Chain A
């Protein structure tokens, strides 16, 4: 069973969307509870910058990756074999005379 490596990339992008949704939700909470102070601004800024740095580092470290290559999850060729395996180049066993 094989699948291309970019499936992982698609999962990662879905996770990024979920992250963004939660990040915006937290900022919305800060706004509606009248807690928009220097402290909350600094925390929002810090988390945003760290997230951007992480995403940039991810892109930088994987920029040379060939995402189209296939990953083999399981080698199933042996499961489909119907004939018994032929043992080639095997010498005939010597039978001892009793």
Chain B
């Protein structure tokens, strides 16, 4: 499946931006994954020092190998699920609307849509040392209704995206205004 099929792209619509979270935000998960990979090796070293003949027993050895294998496979799976949780958060901007797809774990996904001409306010937010150094942050889009707002979380270069969104929203508003005038006349 590609992006146009996913968003059921209209004939006049063009996909302008496909935004994901900044890669730096996934580094924490990567570091935790590496620590979890190393942990059993440290445990084996310690147990060999304390109980040198523990693994000489065939039953203990076999059970230990199987347990270690289950631990590592579970670690890979958890890492993969965390990656999917990070990578499948998607914000698509077309010349007509914004689509917000948020993956929450493996079995939960939220999709929101917002027409560009309804946008009232766009706010970019870069907070912290690493976001400032690597230029990533949040972008909050609000409509006239206080219930509806979309947040682009930890996207790269939010200031640039904010300026473009305001331009796109103005253009779409003028297009709809012109269309309404033509229909009324």
Contact = CB atoms under 8 A, between A and B. Distances in A.
* A joins B in a complex: yes
Interface of A: 5, 8-9, 11-12, 15-16, 19, 22-23, 25-26, 29-36, 39-40, 43-44, 47, 50-51, 54-55, 57-58, 61-62, 65-67, 69, 71
Given A29-B88, A61-B65, A51 B58 contact: no
A32 B106 CA distance: 13
B150 interface: no
Q: Do most interface residues of chain A lie in helix, strand or loop, or is the interface mixed? A: helix
4 nearest A-B pairs in the assembled complex, by CB-CB distance: A58-B69, A34-B6, A65-B62, A47-B80
A22 B80 CA distance: 10
Contact of A22 (B1, B63, B68, B77): B77
Given A5-B59, A15-B73, A50-B76, A58 B101 contact: no
B103 A33 contact: yes
Contacts of B81: 22, 26
A40 B74 CA distance: 19
A23 to B, nearest CB: 7
Choose among B59, B61, B80 the residue with the greatest number of A CB atoms under 10 Å from its CB.
B80
Interface residues of B, number: 32
Contacts of A31: 1
Contacts, number: 89
Interface of B: 1-3, 5-6, 58-59, 61-63, 65-66, 68-70, 72-74, 76-77, 79-81, 83-84, 87-88, 90, 101, 103, 106, 109
A66 B81 CA distance: 36
A36 B90 CA distance: 13
Contacts of B74: 19
Given A40-B87, A69-B59, A8 B66 contact: yes
B73 A34 contact: no
B3 A34 contact: yes
A34 B5 contact: yes
B76 A35 contact: no
Given A5-B62, A47-B76, A12 B84 contact: no
Given A8-B66, A11-B66, A12-B69, 13 more contacts: A8-B62, A12-B70, A22-B77, A33-B109, A35-B87, A43-B87, A44-B80, A50-B72, A50-B76, A54-B73, A55-B69, A62-B65, A66-B58
